[in-house]
DNA sequence: CTGAAAGCGCTAACAG
DNA sequence: CTGTTAGCGCTTTCAG
């Protein structure tokens, strides 16, 4: 910076003022300084600046996973807002419990960021408490944190809306397929199930626990098994509401492989509006992780400027139905359903319990 | 830090030495200092430290997209290495040309990171040159950059290996489906195609440009059209090598929807070993983005320590075939192929040109 | 509107 | 093995 000052024939203070965009710099001087800075390829050192301002110009995020559509999209939304605000994004990738314990032990974000966004973790109260004395705004993303700022989607409404859609199509036996073991997402999962139950109850359709099954994303066998379980019920469902698009695609795949036409024989509804949903024509409840990221970023910006305001602000984002090709009105049952054998279950593993 | 020093009854220097893990601190003092630090919840300010050490403790990455399996996985691999090395990860998300111009204009990473990893961009020589005078190691990830350190997968070998697999199964009419318009990935794309051509040539199978088609990921219509084009050739292919798993899945979907059995009628081979490949049983050429990220992180670490070594080091990672359920030996042509009508093309748009 | 001076929190010689 | 001292590169009063 001294170099720039010299080249422009001014003092360092003036260079600083110019580069920070203060109005109190004469046009002529500003011009000279800016040229000098450009010619010398000068960029302010955040480190030095933050030492005196007390602001780091950094927003940190804590994420359990990065290769996920949800987290990736949210980070994209966040990234846009942050750059517009001149903030940098540092990522703490904390995939397992060991790393996590270490993170909460050391809290590396302390003093090295102006705000922390916690993504999709199911934090213990103890961990949250630890974050509370971090001396910076902490925002909970994709989860509702009591008494703390958070940004999330109205999963209950989404679950309800999706279920209603199926009810409106005439379905009464509606299954719900949960995604098991997606660490950090149990909050959403429970909420969606709650919405499903609410909608059924509101419609006077009795809840049936046999219709709620689970599968592990990425473990084909569990999907086949879950689907098989449903198809072999005394009163099998005519529609399946799958908690997550990626899992819904696995379900579609399983059904189609065994000759079950979707949506003719069975409607399938997903949740997320993952990119893949569009490719395979999956009807789904859309949420916008990009929007979540953006909202979280804006909340962060606000809290950095006004630390005390909005301490408990919750931003709840909407979902909406995107009907595509996998949900259809309930068709009357096939002509002669006399023989119990007429609906063979789906492929290998279908009879597994 | 002064507080910690006082509480432990030592000087600030000693606190610094202790916290940085220098051996020259007596066990007893170390103990006192560590306790004091913990009690006061003290964490070193990177900003202040870097001001004097000249190291920021930060590795920056420049990415064109975040919600992609590839980039996400690579960042996970990178993240692991970085944390182990005590480095932080800052992400510059630069999705479009405007942002990109701005990035190269301002080069915000200058002085604010110890190394920069450039992910999957097709940089112009001018942009690369700009990065060259960044005063820090710049590593090109997922692309070969002449004379500059880079980490990438041997896409040519992958393309060759995949094609050989299909040749070994008896296929001779092998199509290649390119992914169009995936910004930042044309390097890999070209390499894979090159490998495909090499393998065919080596095997004495004539190249046929009609067998190389393109489609846009996420635009179903283009996939249907590309597949239709292939199926309506005078000599249609018996296998399709798709440059990317996600696109391959769209192809599978299209084929299955129109009753084309895979792999009985047509083999389909992907590239990536994307998670989704496993779910749908797609045979594919595996690469490991996590490994790429890890290797890039280690190279970054090395270059930060020894800036002049390895200036041109290239790390080339292998690929390997994962045969699953979508490739099979060429079956003899169906019994009586007399009538030209016996093989209807695939669904709507199949005849489109 | 601009310059001089002080100091942000830390580390790295240099003594002891 | 530990303390003292002198900055690192910036921003910010405070004068002018």
pLDDT in tens, A278-290: 888 899 999 999 9
**Domains, chain B, ranges and CATH?**
1-44 (no CATH), 58-153+291-317 (3.40.50.2300), 155-288 (3.40.50.2300)
Name the nucleotide with the smallest C1'–CA separation from A25.
C1
With an 8 Å Cβ cutoff, are B75 and A91 in contact?
Answer: yes
pTM for the full predicted model: 0.90
Those residues whose C-beta lies under 8 Å from the C-beta of residue A287, and which sit 6 or more positions away, are A153, A158, A271, A272, A273, A317, A319
Q: Where are the beta strands (DSSP E) in B83-238?
A: 88-93, 115-119, 138-141, 150-153, 174-180, 212-216
Map residue B209 onto helix, strand or coil: helix
Task: Give pLDDT, residue B41.
Answer: 87
State the DSSP string of B225-287.
HHHHHHHTSSS--SEEEESSHHHHHHHHHHHHHTT--TTTT-EEEEEE--HHHHHHT-EEEE-
Task: Give pLDDT, residue B23.
Answer: 83
Residues with CB under 7 A from strand D: A 1-2, 12-13, 15-17, 19-20, 44-45, 48-49, 51-53; B 9-14, 17, 23-26, 28-30, 48, 51-52, 111
Residue range A212-260, pLDDT digits in tens: 999 998 788 899 999 999 999 999 999 999 999 999 999 998 998 888 9
**Mean pLDDT, residues A107-111 taken together:** 90
d(CA A79, CA A89): 7
B117 conformational bin, left if phi > 0, alpha if psi -120 to 50, beta if neither? beta
Give me the B residues in range 10-49 that sit within 7 A (CB) of strand C: 12-13, 15-16, 19-20, 44-45, 48-49
Q: Closest residue of A to B37, CA-based?
A: A106
Is a pLDDT exceeding 70 seen at residue A344?
A: no
For residue A276, which residues of chain B lie inside 8 Å, CB to CB?
246, 249, 276
Distances from the Cα of B279 to the Cαs of B182, B274, B275, B329, in angstroms?
A: 23, 9, 7, 22
Task: Give pLDDT, residue B345.
Answer: 39
Q: Closest residue of A to B54, CA-based?
A: A47
Task: Give pLDDT, residue A103.
Answer: 92
Residue B169 CA to chain centroid, in angstroms?
28
d(CA B39, CA B25): 20
State the DSSP string of A182-250.
-TT-HHHHHHHHHHHHHHHHHTTPPP-GGGEEEE-TT-HHHHHHHHHHHHTSSS--SEEEESSHHHHHH
Map residue B326 onto helix, strand or coil: coil
Please report the sign of the dihedral spanned by the C-alpha atoms of residue A134, residue A152, residue A155, residue A97: negative
With an 8 Å Cβ cutoff, are B249 and A279 in contact?
Answer: yes
For residue A83, which residues of chain B lie inside 8 Å, CB to CB?
92-93, 99
Per residue in B218-231, is it b (16+ CB within 10 Å) or e — as a string?
bebebbbbbbbbbb
Main-chain phi, psi angles of A339, to 5 degrees: -70, 130
**Å separating the CA of residue A134 from the C1' of nucleotide C2:** 39
The nearest CA of chain A is from the CA of B119 a distance in Å of 15
d(CA A194, CA A191): 5
End-to-end CA distance of chain A: 71
Beta strand B88-93 with A88-93 is antiparallel
- For residue B327 the two structure tokens come to 């490739």
Reported as a pLDDT band with limits 50, 70 and 90, residue A342 is very low
Please report the sign of the dihedral spanned by the C-alpha atoms of residue A126, residue A127, residue A131, residue A133: positive
**Mean pLDDT, residues A310-339 taken together:** 81
- For residue B179 the two structure tokens come to 């992914």
| Unique residue bearing structure tokens 């909460």 | A104
Main-chain phi, psi angles of B93, to 5 degrees: -95, 115
d(CA A258, CA A277): 21
Beta strand B174-180 with B212-216 is parallel
d(CA A37, CA A254): 62
Main-chain phi, psi angles of B332, to 5 degrees: -60, 150
d(CA A108, CA A121): 17
The nearest CA of chain A is from the CA of B155 a distance in Å of 21
Among B248, B249, B87, B69, CA closest to B142: B69
Q: Are A15 and A37 in contact (CB under 8 A)?
A: yes
% of residues, chain A, pLDDT over 70: 92
Q: Which of A40, A66, A262, A276 to mutate to test the interface with B (most CBs of B within 10 A)?
A: A66
For residue A62, which residues of chain B lie inside 8 Å, CB to CB?
none
CB pairs under 8 A between A and B: 152
Task: Give pLDDT, residue B278.
Answer: 86
Strand partners, A118: A62, A140
Reported as a pLDDT band with limits 50, 70 and 90, residue A345 is very low
Please give the helix or strand (H or E) that residue A91 lies within, else none. strand A88-93
From A43, A107, A281, residue closest to B110, measured CB to CB: A43
Cis peptide before A91 (omega within 30 of 0): no
d(CA B208, CA B233): 11
For residue A133, which residues of chain B lie inside 8 Å, CB to CB?
41
d(CA B257, CA A348): 21
d(CA A158, CA A40): 54
Q: Are B124 and B133 in contact (CB under 8 A)?
A: no
- Per-10-residue mean pLDDT, chain B, length 353: 89 91 87 90 90 93 94 97 94 93 91 92 89 91 90 97 98 96 80 97 97 91 95 96 94 88 95 90 96 97 82 90 96 55 38 32
């Amino acid at each position: 910076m001294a170099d720039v000052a010299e080249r422009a024939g001014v003092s360092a203070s003036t260079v600083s003022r110019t580069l920070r965009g203060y109005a109190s710099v004469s046009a002529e001087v500003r011009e000279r300084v800016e040229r000098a800075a450009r010619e010398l390829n000068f960029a302010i050192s955040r480190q030095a600046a933050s030492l005196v301002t007390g602001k780091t110009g950094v927003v940190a995020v804590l994420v359990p996973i990065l290769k996920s559509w949800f987290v990736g999209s949210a980070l994209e939304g966040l990234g846009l807002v942050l750059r517009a605000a001149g903030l940098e994004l540092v990522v703490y990738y904390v995939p397992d419990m060991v790393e996590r314990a270490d993170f909460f032990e050391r809290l590396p974000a302390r003093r090295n960021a102006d705000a922390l966004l916690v993504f999709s973790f199911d934090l213990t109260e103890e961990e949250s408490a630890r974050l509370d004395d971090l001396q910076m705004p902490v925002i909970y993303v994709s989860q509702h944190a009591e008494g703390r700022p958070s940004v999330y989607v109205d999963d209950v409404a989404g679950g309800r809306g999706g279920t209603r859609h199926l009810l409106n199509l005439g379905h009464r036996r509606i299954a719900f397929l949960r995604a098991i073991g997606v660490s950090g997402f149990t909050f959403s999962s429970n909420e969606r199930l709650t919405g499903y139950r609410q909608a059924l109850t509101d419609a006077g359709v009795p809840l049936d626990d046999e219709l709620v099954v689970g599968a592990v994303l990425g473990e084909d066998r569990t999907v086949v098994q879950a689907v098989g379980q449903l198809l072999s019920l005394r009163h099998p469902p005519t529609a399946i509401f799958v908690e997550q698009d990626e899992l819904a695609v696995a379900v579609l795949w399983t059904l189609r492989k065994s000759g079950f036409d979707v949506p003719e024989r069975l409607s399938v509804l997903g949740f997320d509006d993952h990119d893949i949903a569009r490719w395979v024509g999956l009807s789904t409840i859309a949420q916008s992780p990009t929007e979540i990221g953006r909202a979280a970023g804006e909340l962060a910006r606000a809290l950095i400027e006004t630390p005390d305001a909005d301490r408990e602000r919750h931003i709840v984002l909407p979902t909406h139905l995107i009907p595509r090709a996998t949900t259809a009105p309930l068709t009357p049952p096939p002509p002669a359903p006399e023989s119990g054998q007429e609906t063979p279950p789906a492929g290998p593993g279908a009879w597994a319990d």
